[in-house]
Amino acid sequence: MNRILVVEDEEPIANLIRMNLVKNGYQCDCAYDGLEGADRLEKGHYDLCLLDVMLPKVNGYELLEYAKQFDIPVIFLTAMGTTADKVKGLKAGADDYIAKPFEVVELLARIESVLRRFHKTDQMIEVLDVVIDIPSRTVTKGGTEISLTLKEFELLLLFAQNPNIALYRETIYEQVWQSSYMGDSRTVDLHVQRLRRKLGWESQIEAVYKIGYRLHVM
User: Which pLDDT score, from 0 to 100, does residue 113 have?
Assistant: 85
Whole-number percent of the chain with pLDDT over 70 = 95
Give the residue among 112, 206, 193 at the shortest CA–CA distance from 163.
206
Report the pLDDT averaged over residues 76-93: 83
Q: What is the pLDDT of residues 147-158, one digit of tens each?
A: 999 999 999 988
The more confident residue out of 181 and 24 is 24
Cis amide leading into 56 (omega within 30):
no
Report the pLDDT averaged over residues 177-188: 78
**Residue 166 contacts residue 172 (beta carbons within 8 Å):** no
Q: What is the pLDDT of residues 170-182, one digit of tens each?
A: 888 888 887 777 7
Number of alpha helices (DSSP H) and beta strands (DSSP E) in the chain: 8, 12
Report the pLDDT averaged over residues 78-95: 83
pLDDT score of 93 more than 70:
yes
d(CA 111, CA 133): 18
124-127 and 144-146 as β-strands: parallel, antiparallel, unpaired? unpaired
Q: Kindly list the structural domains of the chain, giving each domain's residue range(s) and its CATH number in brackets, ordered by start.
A: 3-117 (3.40.50.2300), 124-215 (1.10.10.10)
Count of alpha carbons within 13 angstroms of residue 210, beta-carbon side: 0
User: Which pLDDT score, from 0 to 100, does residue 85 have?
Assistant: 78
The more confident residue out of 7 and 121 is 7
Q: What is the pLDDT of residues 99-138, one digit of tens each?
A: 888 888 889 888 988 888 876 666 778 889 999 988 788 9
d(CA 14, CA 95): 20
User: Which pLDDT score, from 0 to 100, does residue 11 have?
Assistant: 92
pLDDT score of 25 more than 80:
no
**Residue 92 contacts residue 62 (beta carbons within 8 Å):** no
pTM: 0.59
